[in-house]
Amino acid sequence: MQQTFNFGHFIPISTVDWHGRSVSVIFFRGCQLRCPYCQNHAYITGSSEMDIEDMKSQISKTKPFISAVVFSGGEPTLQRDALIELAGFARSGSLAVGLETNGFGADVVMEMLDKGLLDKVFLDVKAPLDEPKQYAIVTGLNVDAGSKAAKNTAMTLDKCIRAGIELEVRTTVFRGLVGAKDIRKISQYLDECDCGNLTYAVQQGLSDNTLDMKDTEKFSRQEVLDMATAIKPVNLKDIRIRTIENGEERIV
Ligand code: SF4
């Protein structure tokens, strides 16, 4: 069994990462994407090995105060063995398991679903899934890799919907990269899915914590709200926005 994993950060108790639950959040280090607006760039490269057994001890210590563990990053599915080991440990202690993912590791998500290790997936859909060139720009990849990211994300979305687990799809809007036209296309795509269990969240990208886009003016709360209220859902039953001004607001 693998002894260590590339560790980013640990939040013992969070009440904002999974609505209605108190959770621990484990950030895995390493990511195959390079989104220009990334807020977690401290965790996308580098090496900081942590013993998996030590991580289990931390979960056990926090267990009286939480009902779930959320795996985040970076991209947790890049470290399949450690992710599955820790998710299984959480599950064996009757904790729910959430996964924040960019969707690239569709095979790992599918394996976890098959093993019954996931209760909720928080999936980034970063741009319209049928626009590989734009997906490449928004994820900081070349066109081939961006095309693969879009394809794998579509597969992850499909698997999660078919599994019937709780699913939150998120799009970060960022001036000059992702805007109203994209939200319209992504929401239409989601609306056409069989999506009874799906929440769609439009998130305001913030430039302050980015590496190279600090000068880009963020969309205002009103601009983000306008994008979300322009969605005319048929099947989507839960649409939200998240902004620095007002936090989370449910629109539908
Ligand atoms: S997928 Fe997430 S962690 Fe990776 S570069 Fe993009 S925003 Fe950052």
Supply the pLDDT for residue 5: 98
**Phi first, then psi: what are they for 213, rounded to 5°?**
-125, 30
**Is the CB of 195 inside a 6 Å radius of any atom of ligand 1?**
no
In 3D, which of 62, 68, 60, 79 has the Cα closest to residue 8?
Answer: 79
Q: Can you tell me which atom of ligand 1 is nearest the CA of 74?
A: 3
Most distant CA pair in the chain, distance = 50
What is the per-residue pLDDT for 238?
A: 95
The H or E element containing residue 154 is helix 143-163
Q: What is the per-residue pLDDT for 229?
A: 97
Q: What tens digit of pLDDT does each residue of 209-219 get? A: 898 899 999 99
Query: Which of 34, 38, 172 has most ligand 1 atoms within 8 Å of CB, for mutation?
Result: 38
Element at 170 (helix H, strand E): strand 166-173
Segment 2-34, tens digit of pLDDT: 799 999 999 999 999 999 999 999 999 999 999
Q: How confident is the model at residue 196 (pLDDT cuts 50, 70, 90)?
A: confident
Q: Output the pLDDT for position 21.
A: 98
Binding site membership of 132 for ligand 1 (Cβ less than 6 Å): no
Q: What is the pLDDT of residues 53-102, one digit of tens each?
A: 999 999 999 999 999 999 999 999 999 999 999 999 999 999 999 999 99
Q: What is the pLDDT of residue 211?
A: 87
What is the atom index within ligand 1 of the atom nearest the CA of 73? Answer: 3
Residue 132's pLDDT band, with cuts at 50, 70 and 90, is very high
Span 225-246, pLDDT tens digits: 999 999 999 999 999 999 999 9
The CATH superfamily label for domain 4-250 reads Aldolase class I (3.20.20.70)
Residue 102 Cβ < 6 Å to ligand 1 = yes
CA 190 remoteness from chain centre: 16
Per domain, the residue ranges of the chain are: 4-250
- The rounded distance, in Å, linking the Cα atoms of 146 and 137 is 8
Determine which residue's CA is closest to atom 7 belonging to ligand 1.
Answer: 38
Strand 49-51 and strand 4-14: the pairing is antiparallel
Q: Specify the pLDDT at position 2.
A: 74
**Of 25, 27, 102, 213, which is best to mutate to test ligand 1, by the most ligand atoms within 8 angstroms of its C-beta?**
102
Which own/partner contact pairs does 116-121 have at CB distance under 8 Å and 24+ positions apart? 116/91, 117/84, 117/87, 117/88, 117/91, 118/87, 118/163, 118/165, 119/68, 119/165, 119/166, 120/18, 120/96, 120/165, 120/166, 120/167, 120/168, 121/156, 121/160, 121/165, 121/166, 121/167, 121/168
Structure tokens at 51: 């013993």
Per-residue pLDDT at 194: 67
Q: What is the mean pLDDT of the chain?
A: 96
